[in-house]
Amino acid sequence: MPRSLFPPDGGPSEDWPPDYMQPPRVADRNRTRLAGHALQHEGKPFEDGGEGNWSRTYGAAGRGVCECGEASTVLASDADRKRWHKGHKDEVRRA
């Protein structure tokens, strides 16, 4: 029997409507993932290890690296690198 789109007997409850029927929240839309463009290590800093390799650094400053190979300039914090990555994804979407 197909799942009912209407509340079970007893009417609306705290579980109604279910999450999958809710419109997306603005915060979720801003965090939309883009296939092939994951920010590596959630914005942890990397440095150019040469020969196309990126290696993790353990200071605060470093480059953000995207899954596609794009890298930021040296930025001071994870938050800066996340901001860079958000802009990078926006550019990819516009392209």
Shorter beta-carbon distance to Zn ion: residue 18 or 82: 82
Shorter beta-carbon distance to Zn ion: residue 17 or 33: 33
* Distance from C-alpha of 4 to C-alpha of 22, rounded to nearest angstrom: 16
Start-to-end Cα distance in the chain: 45
Give the Å distances, CA to CA, from 63 to 20, 51, 67, 82.
37, 16, 13, 11
Q: Compute the least distance from the CB of residue 21 to Zn ion, in Å.
A: 32
Q: Compute the least distance from the CB of residue 80 to Zn ion, in Å.
A: 17
Q: Please give the residue ranges that form the binding site for Zn ion (CB under 5 A).
A: 37, 66, 68, 70
Shorter beta-carbon distance to Zn ion: residue 67 or 77: 67
